[in-house]
Structure 1
Amino acid sequence: MTAALGQGVVKVAVFGAAGRMGQAVCRAVLDAPGLDLVAQIDVDDDPQRAVEAGAEVAVDFTHPGATMQNIEFCARNGINVVVGTSGFDEARQDQVRALLHGTEVRVLVAPNFSIGAVLMMKFAANAAPYFESVEIIELHHPDKVDAPSGTATRTAELVAEARAAAGSAPMPDATLSPSQGGPGLDGARGAAVESIPVHSVRLRGLIAHQEVLLGTVGETLTIRHDSLDRASFMPGVVLACKKTGTLPAGLTVGLDALLDI
């Protein structure tokens, strides 16, 4: 089996098929022209079913430990992988690169499959060099296991890269935490991702939301994205299933690699 997708219908396997996102992915693949759902695999199922069904790409919405096992399995069997599981920091990405070394398999790790969220990250990176200060607030449902979210982490990385490339000065912040001899509470300023403050909210009733707050003397800019239903992620998943085989062999991070932005 080759990892490069051919012409015609793309055969898709879904790992984590019984989960909320997995079920939504299965429905989206079934409804999408040009895709064929050939295997639905969950925790107690044999992944060999994906191979036997001739899957060309596997979509993974499980958890980080299972995802790494699934990537290793797919790398051995020439199946490209689309990863929507959270928690893929730089260390885990390096593990994926090591697993793919010497293979022709493509793995796309997307912090967010929403087209709107990808545009929000792009707009934030474009705007960041023009403002003195940038902070991120991400809001999700309380069943989410990671904080900050992968989207917020990726946004902070892109913002930091854009500011560094533009030669932006360090952001002003006179706050002193108690560990620095100041008043207040440790953690009140959130987590620092590439020096960008990120604040995480977990609240029942939310799905996935993010604000990027930018400020300079006399003005502020807020870039906000809201996913109100998991259906918002499905066009990006379908696009990834169809196009991951066109990427260079190895690891690609971000759905923007498949968009003309």
Structure 2
Amino acid sequence: MNRRIRVAVSGAGGRMGKEVIKLVLQDEGMELAAAIDRSSHGVDAGGLVGLGEAGVRVTDDLETALATAGADVLVDFTTPQAAYTNTSLAIKYGVRPVIGTTGFTPEQIGELDEQCKEQGIGGLIAPNFSIGAILLMRFAAQAAKYFPHLEIIEYHGDQKLDAPSGTAVKTAEMISEVRKEMKQGNPREEETIEGARGGYYNGFRIHSVRLPGIFAQEEVVFGDYGQTLKIRHDSYERAGYMPGVKLGIEKVMGYTGMIYGFDHFID
């Protein structure tokens, strides 16, 4: 029988972190090695998520946890400001990072890829762990070959820190791999209110909506003469991301280098 994967969870007290702890504690192939969170320091990780005592106390010291807990994988859902440092620290200690936090630059991803290769371990940065969202990206990239006029609209709650979302950026990147840059709309177009047309990306626009009551949605709208095509994905709760997180944890054990995008794990 294969050894269970030992998982450390950074951001354990956050909403996504708690879902990851539930996943790990309830999965026969995984074992909770450590839980890291400043606000929940000292609390038993199982009690934190309502599953009873797990025998793992939440710590506020990520580096000590990575150095001593014997973790195979670090799952991180923290903040864009902390994610790069956390990821680099995990690699330093030979712990495979599985990162759901967005905001990495292409240069940072390249640096982390080199660090992973030097350590001989794999890593994953995934703007979205939802299988449905990954399918949206793929379908949108296919459609863009035939409908090059498009715009992306993404919706999140009003407390989201980054705009556009990492999912929207990844969607735009995948579309741009099959669509040449082409500026859309009237060449004399002017914004009478700054930003009204959204963010510019390779000739098309990305719009970010931030409102209370919204969880996570994305829509790619394609237009052509006499017709439109809309591809949309809606997420309603965080548990919907956990099958993707589980797959990411399992797959990263067999890779070397940093993988950017959960789509690489979907056949």
**TM-score, normalised via structure 1 length:** 0.88
Partner of 2:18 in structure 1? 23
Alignment of 1:1-261 (within 5 A): 7-43=2-38, 44-100=60-116, 102-164=118-180, 170-174=182-186, 176=188, 182=190, 184-247=192-255, 249-260=256-267
Calculate percent identity across the aligned residue pairs. 43
Task: Show CA shifts across 1:174-210 (max 9, x none).
Answer: 1645xxxx46222111001233310000010111100
Unmatched 5+ stretches in structure 2: 39-59
Moved more, 115-124 or 182-191: 182-191
Distance 1:245 1:8 in 2: 12
- In the TM superposition, residue 10 of structure 1 has moved relative to its aligned partner by 0.8
Relative contact order, higher structure (CA 8 A, sep 6+): 1
Distance 1:150 1:253 in 2: 11
Runs of 4+ in 1 over 4 A off after TM superposition: none
Query: What is the root-mean-square deviation of aligned Cα atoms in Å?
Result: 1.8
Unmatched 5+ stretches in structure 1: 1-5
1:191–1:198 CA contact under 8 A, matched in 2: yes
Change (3 A) 1:188 1:244: same
Distance 1:232 1:47 in 2: 30
2:182–2:204 CA contact under 8 A, matched in 1: no
Change (3 A) 1:172 1:195: closer
Letter in 1 for 2:157: H
Task: Show CA shifts across 1:55-95 (max 9, x none).
Answer: 10110111123222222221121110100011123133233
2:182–2:202 CA contact under 8 A, matched in 1: no
Partner of 1:3 in structure 2? none
Distance 1:254 1:36 in 2: 25
**TM-score, normalised via structure 2 length:** 0.86
Partner of 2:47 in structure 1? none
Aligned residues: 246
